[in-house]
Amino acid sequence: MRAAAVALIALLLAGPAGASEERPTAAELESELVCPVCDTTLDTSNAPVALRMKAFIRARIAAGDTKSEIKAALVDQFGPAVLAEPPKKGFELLAWVLPLAGLVLGAAAVGALAWRWSRGRGEDEPPDDSGEPLDPVLERRLDDELARFDP
């Protein structure tokens, strides 16, 4: 039953995702591409090259190009740095994996340290009684000091 529900949800979400690929919007592409001059997304940049890229995107959308084709053309012209998020393949895959691995390792380290710290605290143990009597002078002095506190 659960698998059928997951499959149904996946099918419902696949339609809009496919439509986005086939009929992209300028706003969608401008938020996924970076201006090569100012290193901000195209939707926030007003640099001359960004304005030319926006015009190129609108022209390619009007010509019926897909999102992948438009991005590929811009990557060919400006390089992979024009993509707002790195590709999930090859060496660029490290940009996706390393932060996640760092979070997992950090959480594991904090968990291990917390567990170790909580296990290191023992119950309040009484002091070691070696059975040796106190020096009589010290014992008398201790008794005198304690007697001062008795009412």
For residues 24 and 66, the answer to whether their CB atoms sit within 8 Å is: yes
Max CA separation in the chain (angstroms): 105
Residue with tokens 């499959």: 7
Average pLDDT on 109-134 reads: 75
Q: How large is the average pLDDT for residues 21-38?
A: 88
pLDDT computed for residue 18 by the predictor: 44
Q: What are the pLDDT digits (tens) for 44-102? A: 988 999 999 999 999 999 999 999 899 999 999 988 888 888 777 777 777 778 888 99
Beta bridge partners of 83: 33
Domains in the chain, start-ordered, CATH in brackets?
Answer: 2-92 (1.10.8.640)
Q: What is the pTM of this model?
A: 0.50
